[in-house]
Amino acid sequence: MVRRKLGRTELSVMPLCFGGNVFGWTADERTSFAVLDAYVDGGGNFIDTADVYGVGESESIVGRWMNARKNRGQIVLATKVGSRMGLDKQGLSRQYILEEVEASLKRLQTDYIDLYQAHRDDLNTPLDETMGAFNELVRQGKVRYLGASNYNAARLREALRVSDRHGYARYECLQPLYNLVKRAEYEGELEALCLEQGLGVITYSSLASGFLSGKYREGKAMPFSLRAKNVHDRYMNEQGFRVLEQVDRVAAAHSATVAQVALAWILTRPGITAAIVSATSVEQLRELLGAVQLSLSKEDLESF
C-alpha cells in the first residue's frame, strides 16, 4: 500500500487517514471495530481522533480497539486538544494541555501519541505558552510530533517563529478544511506557507460533509439531521452543484464513484499528505480506499 511521509517527521502514513469523529456517535463500538479492522486490512495505518469527539468516547473506542488487536506499534495515532470539553475545559493554556494529554493517553491506553494537534487556535493564550507546553510533552516522550488545525496563515507562521526562537518542537503539519468545493480558505497563503516550511497537510471535511459522496442532489428530499442541514447551508448552491456535475463526469469516465474522484483530486494537490475520511460501514470504507488507486488525467484535474 502507498505511504507518504508526513512533512519533516519520520511518520510514514497511508494517504487516506481514518477519521474517528464517527466513533461513539454514528458508529457504535462493534461497528467501529469492524471498520477499523477493514481499514487496516486495506493497508491503512493512520487514525485521527480528538478528545472532544464524543467527549472522550472516540478516543476510548480507539484505545480499546488497539488493546484488543495488540497493534499499537503499527498505528500512527493522531489526536487533538483545545476544543470545548465542558465548563472551563478548553483552550491551549499550559495547564490545560498538560492535564488533557494525560486524559487522552488514559483513554487511548497508550503512553505516547504520534501526532498531537491543537484543534483550534486560542487567542487568549500566548503562543509562547502554548508551544512551550507542547515542547514539554515532546521532551517527555509523551508526544512524538505536533500539528495544528484551523489556524490561519498569520498565526501559523507566528507559532513557527515562536518555536524557532525558543528552540521548541514546532508544528509539523496542518489540518485544514479542504475539498473540491471549499478551496479558497486553504489555497493561497496557507498552502504557500505549508510548502515553504515543509509542513505536512491532512485535510478534513474532504468529502464536504458527505456532499461529495453524491448522495445529496438538487431536487432530492433531504434527511432531517444537523449534518444534512450543514450540507444544505454550506454546499447546496450553484457552485456546489456545478462542481458535483463535473465530478460526475470524471467518475463516469473512470468507472469510479463520486467520492473516489473527490478524494483522488485532493491527493494530487501539492504538499498534501493525506485526506481524512470516515465510514460507518465496511462497504463504505472499501469504496473510499479505492481512491488511492485512482489516477486522474491532466485533463481531469484541469476541469475542476
Q: Calculate the alpha carbon distances from 47 to 4, 21, 86, 180, 286 in Å.
A: 14, 10, 24, 23, 16
> Residues near 281 by Cβ (< 8 Å), separated by ≥ 6?
31, 35
Cβ atoms of 104 and 113 closer than 8 Å: yes
Task: Give the C-alpha separation, 82 to 123, whole Å.
Answer: 11
Task: Give the C-alpha separation, 105 to 96, whole Å.
Answer: 14
Task: Give the C-alpha separation, 70 to 166, whole Å.
Answer: 38
- For the CA atoms of 230, 234, 237, 243, the dihedral, rounded to the nearest 10 degrees, stands at -110
Q: Which residues are catalytic?
A: 53
Angle between helix 29-41 and helix 57-69 axes, rounded to 10 deg:
50
> Residues near 122 by Cβ (< 8 Å), separated by ≥ 6?
82, 91, 92, 93, 130
Q: Which three cell numbers stand for residue 149?
A: 488545525
